[in-house]
Amino acid sequence: MNTAFAPWQQAVYEQMAGALDAGRLGHGLMFQGPARLGKIAVAERLARRVLCTDRRGDGEPCGQCRDCRLLDAGSHPDFQKVSFIPTRDGTKLRTEIVIEQIRRLSEQLALTPQYGVAQVAIIDPADAINPSAANALLKTLEEPVPGRYLWLVTAYPGRLPATIRSRCQKFEFRLPPREQALAWLQAQGHGAAVATDALDAARGHPGLAHGWIEGGELGLRREVRADLDAITAGRLAVVATAQRWVADEHADLRLRFAADLAVEAAANRLTDPMRARSLAAWFDRANRARDLLRTTVRADLVVVELLMAWRAGESKHATKHATTRQGIDA
Ligand SMILES: [Zn+2]
């Protein structure tokens, strides 16, 4: 149960545990920072630290008392987790956290803890609460009861009403320094080259990089790079490539990767400001295409236009260089 934290998790956990032990932990907490950095795991460990009735010498939960065992079993009466519940017909999950859930939570928090220590409730993702649920939640936050903890987990704190944010003590999860992220990725069993590649692709986010290696997205990124190169070289037809890019559920990710690769290419062409500018424009275009893909516009046509623009930009660049070279040669 007490699996080792990544260093960035450990840092936040220690900060929170210190506040808890010193009696400085507020009623409402916000666990904020990018998705896939392990915020929930930290919240759950902290909940154990709060609810365990036989903590070890170092303050960590014992893992053996009744509270710890009930937490392991997911049936501790003083611990609640609020997330998406199934829709009325039960066919899928709702995409919002609704007022009934927050009402039930508030009722529960108003009760005396069953085992006498405290009550902990986690809302994840807190940014998914809809406006009426947010109002109900605000009431609960405004009337804190001692020994009740309400923790909001979110990757998008800005989506929560300011009135809620202002009532929470904030703990920020941050992307770790590159060396630390690489060391962690290697400790997960990834080779140095793959780890570096994935970390670059994920813009320094180790959790995302790990997920992308495991899930095959890194391979998809390599394919996108190879496709763009082949289009530049005239070895690949634009229309067929566009059709292939939108043929499965990864169209959006391909465009995201393509946009990233344009930024990377621009960074490598700082000596050619014209091309760097046109790559920046293409980056914007790729992101607009991602938005369009969420509409009813025909996806393949959107991508055809985008790839045509890529080919045009790259060939103009090639021609310009050819001309310059001729000029020098002459
Ligand atoms: Zn315990």
Question: Does residue 330 have a pLDDT over 50?
Answer: no
Are 237 and 308 found together in one domain? yes
CA of 41 to the centre of ligand 1 (A): 17
Question: Does residue 183 have a pLDDT over 70?
Answer: yes
Are 105 and 228 found together in one domain? no
Q: What is the pLDDT of residue 320?
A: 57
Question: Does residue 145 have a pLDDT over 90?
Answer: no
Helix (H, G, I), strand (E, B) or coil at 219: helix
CA of 131 to the centre of ligand 1 (A): 37
Are 20 and 162 found together in one domain? yes
Are 132 and 228 found together in one domain? no
Is residue 265 in a domain?
Answer: yes
Q: CA-to-CA distance for 310 and 231, rounded, in angstroms? A: 8
CA of 147 to the centre of ligand 1 (A): 17
Instruction: Indicate the pLDDT class of residue 112, thresholds 50, 70 and 90.
Output: confident
What mean pLDDT comes out for the span 69-84?
95
Indicate the average pLDDT of the chain: 91
Are 146 and 228 found together in one domain? no
Q: Which residue has the higher pLDDT, 152 or 111?
A: 152
CA of 222 to the centre of ligand 1 (A): 47
Instruction: Indicate the pLDDT class of residue 311, thresholds 50, 70 and 90.
Output: very high
CA of 51 to the centre of ligand 1 (A): 7
CA of 188 to the centre of ligand 1 (A): 28
Which of 172, 207, 241 is a domain's end point?
Answer: 172
Which of 111, 141, 172 is a domain's end point?
Answer: 172
Is residue 113 in a domain?
Answer: yes
Are 163 and 236 found together in one domain? no
Are 38 and 113 found together in one domain? yes
Q: Are residues 219 and 243 in contact, defined by beta-carbon separation less than 8 angstroms? A: no
CA of 200 to the centre of ligand 1 (A): 41
Which residues span the domain enclosing 14? 7-172
Which of 138, 172, 206 is a domain's end point?
Answer: 172
CA of 17 to the centre of ligand 1 (A): 15
Are 162 and 282 found together in one domain? no
CA of 6 to the centre of ligand 1 (A): 23
What mean pLDDT comes out for the span 150-155?
97
CA of 16 to the centre of ligand 1 (A): 18
Are 26 and 126 found together in one domain? yes
What mean pLDDT comes out for the span 153-159?
96
CA of 207 to the centre of ligand 1 (A): 29
Question: Does residue 116 have a pLDDT over 80?
Answer: no
CA of 29 to the centre of ligand 1 (A): 22
CA of 175 to the centre of ligand 1 (A): 31
Question: Does residue 186 have a pLDDT over 60?
Answer: yes
Q: CA-to-CA distance for 20 and 149, rounded, in angstroms? A: 11
Is residue 94 in a domain?
Answer: yes
Q: Which of 165, 143, 163 is nearest to 154 (CA)?
A: 165
CA of 96 to the centre of ligand 1 (A): 33
Q: CA-to-CA distance for 321 and 147, rounded, in angstroms? A: 70
Instruction: Indicate the pLDDT class of residue 178, thresholds 50, 70 and 90.
Output: very high
DSSP structure string for 43-96: HHHHHHHHH-SS--TTS---S-SHHHHHHHHT--TTEEEE---B-TTSSSB-SS
Percent of the chain with pLDDT over 90: 81
CA of 40 to the centre of ligand 1 (A): 19
Percent of the chain with pLDDT over 70: 94
Are 19 and 164 found together in one domain? yes
Is residue 102 in a domain?
Answer: yes
Are 120 and 50 found together in one domain? yes
CA of 71 to the centre of ligand 1 (A): 9
Question: Does residue 244 have a pLDDT over 70?
Answer: yes
Q: What is the pLDDT of residue 1?
A: 44
Is residue 231 in a domain?
Answer: yes
Is residue 180 in a domain?
Answer: no
Residue 87, domain CATH: 3.40.50.300
Is residue 41 in a domain?
Answer: yes
> Which two tokens mark 294?
């969420």
Please name the residue ranges forming H helices in the chain. 7-21, 39-51, 66-73, 99-110, 131-142, 162-165, 178-187, 192-201, 206-215, 217-232, 238-245, 251-267, 273-293, 299-329
CA of 36 to the centre of ligand 1 (A): 27
Is residue 238 in a domain?
Answer: yes
Question: Does residue 280 have a pLDDT over 60?
Answer: yes
Q: Report the domain count for the chain.
A: 2
What mean pLDDT comes out for the span 152-163?
96
DSSP state at residue 143: S
Q: What is the pLDDT of residue 328?
A: 41
CA of 63 to the centre of ligand 1 (A): 5
Instruction: Indicate the pLDDT class of residue 327, thresholds 50, 70 and 90.
Output: very low
Instruction: Indicate the pLDDT class of residue 319, thresholds 50, 70 and 90.
Output: low
Are 163 and 224 found together in one domain? no
What mean pLDDT comes out for the span 169-175?
96
CA of 238 to the centre of ligand 1 (A): 61
Q: What are 25-65's pLDDT values in tens digits?
A: 989 999 999 999 999 999 999 999 999 999 999 999 999 99
CA of 12 to the centre of ligand 1 (A): 21
Question: Does residue 153 have a pLDDT over 70?
Answer: yes
